[in-house]
Amino acid sequence: MGRFGKFAYSAGRWSRGGPTAVPFLLLDVHDSDIATVDYRLADASGGRFFLGYEPRIYFDEPDGADPVDTRAEAEGFARWAREAQETDVDPAEVQELMAAADGAPPTDEVVEETVDKLLALAGLPALEWPTDDDAPAG
């Protein structure tokens, strides 16, 4: 079984659950195969993209949503990194990490590896991934 979790970066720190301020970055990891990345700036602009697989591919519902415009989202995320973190990010490098709209398998074995690469590109502190010891009993 893969890892599940929601992590928010806002006000200069990571927290579990939702963001505490704007701008923010929100990561929602599903079974170590999908990471939903939501980003917002103070002007309420932002976007969403996926690492690993797009949910419509993972859940075998190709018509369940439109494919992500990875070029536009990569440019949007680069803007977020520049304005929120004062980090210059090449949109092409971000786009290489994104889930393929055609459903091609990701290059990393688990999506957490791709998340770590994205955070490093954006100049964000690394996530401390929960261990099995952090899981609830049962």
Q: What integer pLDDT is reported at residue 12 of this predicted model?
A: 93
Residue 73 in any domain: the answer is yes
Print the domain residue range for 62: 5-130
Q: What integer pLDDT is reported at residue 131 of this predicted model?
A: 76
- Write 71-79 long-range contacts (CB < 8 A, 24+): 71/95, 72/47, 73/47, 73/48, 73/49, 73/98, 74/49, 74/98, 76/39, 76/45, 76/46, 76/47, 77/37, 77/39, 77/47, 77/49, 77/122, 79/41
Confidence of residue 104 (pLDDT cuts 50, 70, 90): very high
Tokens coding 105: 């398998």
Residue 136 in any domain: the answer is no
pLDDT tens-digit profile of 119-132?
Answer: 999 999 999 998 76
Whole-model pTM? 0.92
Residue 52 in any domain: the answer is yes
Tokens coding 93: 């490098």
Residue 137 in any domain: the answer is no
Average pLDDT estimate for 75-98: 97
Q: What integer pLDDT is reported at residue 138 of this predicted model?
A: 38
Total domains in the chain come to 1
Residue 104 in any domain: the answer is yes
Residue 108 in any domain: the answer is yes
Place of tokens 């990194």: 81
Residue 47 in any domain: the answer is yes
pLDDT tens-digit profile of 17-51?
Answer: 889 899 999 999 999 999 999 999 999 899 999 99
Q: In 3D, which of 45, 42, 43, 56 has the Cα closest to residue 10?
A: 42
Tell which wins on pLDDT, 134 or 44: 44
Q: What integer pLDDT is reported at residue 130 of this predicted model?
A: 82
Q: Is pLDDT of 66 > 70? A: yes
